[in-house]
Amino acid sequence: MRISVIGCGYLGAVHAACMAQLGHDVVGIDVDERKISALARSKAPFFEPGLDDLLTEVQNTGRLNFTTDIAAAAGAKVHFVCVGTPQKKGENAADLTYVDSAISALLNHLAPGDVVVGKSTVPVGTARRLSAQVKDTQFDADLVWNPEFLREGHAVADTLHPDRFVYGVDNGSEDHRAVAILDEVYSTPLSTGTPRLITDHPTAELVKTAANSFLATKISFINAMAELCEAAEADVTQLADAIGLDDRIGRKFLNAGIGFGGGCLPKDIRAFMARAGELGADQALTFLREVDAINMRRRTRVVELTRQLCDGSLLGKRITVLGAAFKPESDDVRDSPALSIAAQLQLQGAVVTVTDPKALENAARRFPELHYEADTDKAVRGADALLLLTEWEDYRSLDPYELRSLVASTTILDGRNVLDAAKWRAAGWVYRGLGRP
């Protein structure tokens, strides 16, 4: 199948490579020349485990090409729209500029029977509006909304072996002619039994925002429990283990800590609330305001705890922040709680050094005023307190005995509750977790 992928960011670059891996002929298209020239050299413009190798493997087969020319979409049968939908500046709503311009550029290159597949996360109602445009052309094309559920850091595996496929088609029916075409695209994962659900357009769009809202709610729920555990001197990690054993609840996404960040969960819950307001259903989602508030409170809580650990004053204290990315196995710093905490500490007079295995370049672009050091040993030297804020394996496996000689004060705040508290205390450290006694 000939496929075009419009938008080659985290979602599109991975999708293009994976579609080629499944045996299709793929062209990836993006307006950003820097991105395209990197991808054309089999170099992902961001860190994603396994992606560089996959790009090399599929580009060697000749089945994957990249270009900035949207005209290259002509001749493809299926066109995946994978552009970003960031939060609008100064508003909660999603900015659909990139989706709209991708679709209108694509319209000039569609042929009869083509299928345009929306993968971006959009406010409910967008697909119906865009579908009218796609059908309105002389080309008689179809629009399917096929949300993506990949996680950064696991993007290749999530794309090749997803939990499920959702196809939103205008009549919500299995008989829709686009269904068979998309089945052919995904024939390999479908043949291994991956469930696929056919819905109408708005349901497909809502599946994605509902899933991300549920995940955000789960994290804020356990972080609210962490607040309570702190007040009652209980341990939220044991609480999570215990309630997680009930398979109606499940242990995943119950890790209390500094909360969620990244380019998806925070902006998606806000865009969802904004859209609900437009639909006159804002009451249904007022709980997401609380989810957001609990999440943001984690960051201020860590700043306060750090102040306590530094004998009541941050002024001139040397703080080392371990981790800048919004989560491990990623160099993405969009709305990273770790960086936001580092910046707040700096504003309050601390001397902050940030280290991270992959995200320092992106972090320095976003917060140039912070001090960055790639080498962990150098970064922790002379520190009055260490803050583990992104749980990279490098930091989980730090040796508390070896580290003692490097720091000025053996104090650590474990913002992700991943260290063995007893082991660190036995090595003479003041250990502080979140929601743990």
Question: Between the CA of residue 31 and those of 12, 70, 89, 203, 289, what are the distances in Å?
Answer: 13, 8, 21, 30, 35
Number of residues this chain uses to bind ligand UGA (CB under 6 A): 21
Out of 262, 323, 357, 435, name the contact with ligand UGA by CB under 6 A: 262
Which SS3 state, helix, strand or coil, does residue 62 take?
coil
Task: Pinpoint the alpha helices (H) of 197-354.
Answer: 201-232, 236-244, 265-278, 286-309, 337-347
Judged by beta carbon, residue 9 or residue 28, the one nearer ligand UGA is 9
Q: Cα separation of 317 and 351, whole Å?
A: 6
Judged by beta carbon, residue 114 or residue 148, the one nearer ligand UGA is 148
Contact letters (x/-) for ligand UGA, 309-338, by CB under 6 A?
-----------------xx-----------
Amino acid at 190: L
Q: Given the rule CB under 6 A, which of 261-269, 270-278, 282-290, 356-364 is the region that contacts ligand UGA?
A: 261-269
**Catalytic residue check, 264:** yes
Q: Given the rule CB under 6 A, which of 89-97, 138-146, 259-267, 405-413 is the region that contacts ligand UGA?
A: 259-267
Give, as ranges, the residues between 76 and 115 that touch ligand UGA (CB under 6 A). Answer: none
Out of 212, 213, 217, 355, name the contact with ligand UGA by CB under 6 A: 212
Out of 18, 219, 305, 363, name the contact with ligand UGA by CB under 6 A: 219
The torsion angles phi and psi of 200, rounded to 5 degrees, stand at -80, 175
Q: Which residues of 70-108 are buried (b: 16+ CB within 10 A; e: fewer)?
A: bebbbebbbbbbbbbbebbeeebbbbbebbeebbeebbe
Amino acid at 31: V
Q: Is 21 in the site for ligand UGA (CB under 6 A)?
A: no
Q: Is 51 in the site for ligand UGA (CB under 6 A)?
A: no
Judged by beta carbon, residue 314 or residue 354, the one nearer ligand UGA is 354
The answer to whether residues 334 and 326 touch, using CB atoms and an 8 Å cutoff, is yes
Out of 85, 121, 131, 355, name the contact with ligand UGA by CB under 6 A: 121
* Set 8, 18, 82, 264: catalytic member: 264
Q: Is 253 in the site for ligand UGA (CB under 6 A)?
A: yes
Judged by beta carbon, residue 141 or residue 343, the one nearer ligand UGA is 343
Opening angle at CA 383, ends 382 and 388, nearest 5: 145
Question: Between the CA of residue 110 and those of 96, 129, 143, 331, 347, what are the distances in Å?
Answer: 21, 18, 12, 36, 52
* Residues identified as active-site: 264
